[in-house]
Amino acid sequence: MAQTRKKRDVFDVIAVFVLSITAVVTAWCGFEASKWGGDMSIAFSQASSARVQATAAEGQARDARQYDLTIWTQYVLAEADGNTQLMTYIEQRFTPEFRTAFEAWNTGDRVEQGPFAMKEYVPPGTAEAKKLSQHADKKFEQALASNQRGDDYTLLTVLFALVLFLTAMSQRDLVPWVRWTLLSLAMVVGAAGIVIMLTFPILI
């Protein structure tokens, strides 16, 4: 009788220990899932903001290109008429970006179809738009990764809930071998969950 009582006490101590540890790691997983969810929201917001800025920069580049195209059209017409005075007047109104491309085009014996085809032609806003788009892509990928990490931690809470269930079932008035089997299974599942959890990145 005393031996049975002792085994019962050992069983209860182990069960309480498993329940306590599982409760702690479950709370930790919930905390991490929440943190990664917040990181996902911030990254998505930053990606959206960068997209808006990239669109604005692209609009600036488009407007600059349209202005240069209008001036270039007048230059071509003046050149076709042989009006050198007007050509000089128009040249003085080239934007710095277009002037660089125009000079490179002239230096290259006008092999290309026009200054716009030159790699030197980079209207203002082009570099900014590219940089912002890349930043937006990076933040979007970060958001997706954070979402996945949050989901991973959430799935672990489900796994630890199974541990709690098995441990609780082992507390019922069952034959000893069934109770020990349930508790052992709970310990195995819990240990596996903790090992998996340790492989996950942590966000504080």
Taking residue 92's Cβ as centre, other Cβ atoms within 10 Å add up to: 8
Residue 129 pLDDT grade (very low, low, confident, very high; cuts 50, 70, 90): very high
Burial degree of 101 (CB within 10 A; 0-12, 13-18, 19+)? buried
How far is 30 from 160, CA to CA, in rounded Å? Answer: 11
* pLDDT, mean of residues 118-139: 94
Q: Is the pLDDT reported for residue 88 higher than 70?
A: yes
Q: Is the pLDDT reported for residue 1 higher than 60?
A: no
> 37 and 149 in contact (C-beta within 8 Å)?
no
| Cα→Cα distances 52→23, 48, 55, 58, 136, Å | 44, 6, 5, 10, 9
pLDDT for 31-81, tens place per residue? 999 999 999 999 999 999 999 999 999 999 999 999 999 999 999 999 999
Residue 175 pLDDT grade (very low, low, confident, very high; cuts 50, 70, 90): confident
